[in-house]
Chains A and B, each alone.
Chain A
Amino acid sequence: MELYKLTIHELHEKLKNKEISAKELTESVFKRLSETEEKIKAYLTITKDEAQKETEEADKNIKSGNASPLTGIPLAIKDNICTDGIKTTCASRILESFIPPYDAAVITKLKKSGYILVGKTNMDEFAMGSSTENSAFGATRNPYDLDRVPGGSSGGSAAAVAADECIAALGSDTGGSIRQPAALCGIVGMKPTYGRVSRYGLVAFASSLDQIGPLTKDVADCAVMMNAISGHDPCDSTSANIPLPDFTKSLVKDVKGLKIGIPEEYFIEGIDKDVDKAVRDAIKLLEGLGAESVKIKLPNTGYAIATYYILATSEASSNLARYDGVKYGLRAEGKDLIDMYMETRAKGFGSEVKRRIMLGTYALSAGYYEAYYKKAQQVRTLIKMDFDEAFKKADVIITPTTPTAAFKIGEKTQDPLQMYLSDIFTISVNLAGVPGASIPCGFTKDELPIGLQIIGRPFDEETIIRTAYTFEQSTDWHKRKPNL
Chain B
Amino acid sequence: MKITKKEVEHVALLARLKFSEEEKETFVKQLSGILGYVEKLNEVDTSNIEPTSHVIKMQNVFRDDVVTDSLPREKALSNAPDKTEKFFRVPKIIE
Contacts and interface: CB of A to CB of B under 8 A. Distances in A.
Interface of A: 97-99, 101-102, 194-195, 208, 234, 237-238, 240, 300, 302-303, 305-307, 309-310, 317, 321, 324-331, 334, 336-338, 340-343, 345-346, 349, 354-355, 357-359, 361-362, 365, 372, 374-382, 384, 416-417, 420, 432-433, 458
A232 to B, nearest CB: 11
Contacts of B19: 346, 354
A359 B43 CA distance: 21
Contacts of A98: 79
Contacts of A349: 17
Contacts of A338: 16
A203 B85 CA distance: 27
B3 to A, nearest CB: 7
B6 to A, nearest CB: 13
A302 B41 CA distance: 9
Contacts of B14: 361, 365
Interface of B: 3, 7-8, 10-12, 14-19, 27, 30-31, 33-35, 37-38, 40-44, 46, 49-56, 58, 61, 63, 71, 75-76, 78-82, 88, 90-93
Given A377-B52, A382-B46, A326 B15 contact: no
Nearest to A207: B54
- Among A329, A338, A379: residue with most chain B CB under 10 A: A379
A208 B55 CA distance: 8
B73 to A, nearest CB: 11
Given A378-B46, A379-B44, A416-B34, A337 B91 contact: yes
A382 B44 contact: yes
Interface centre among A334, A337, A349, A375 (most CB of B within 10 A): A375
A380 B51 contact: yes
A237 to B, nearest CB: 4
25 contacts: A98-B79, A99-B78, A101-B75, A102-B75, A317-B15, A326-B88, A327-B79, A328-B80, A330-B81, A336-B91, A340-B91, A342-B18, A345-B15, A349-B17, A355-B27, A359-B31, A362-B3, A365-B14, A378-B44, A378-B46, A379-B41, A381-B46, A381-B50, A432-B55, A433-B56
A101 B16 contact: no
Contact of A378 (B27, B50, B58, B63): B50
B71 A102 contact: yes
Contacts of A378: 44, 46, 49-52
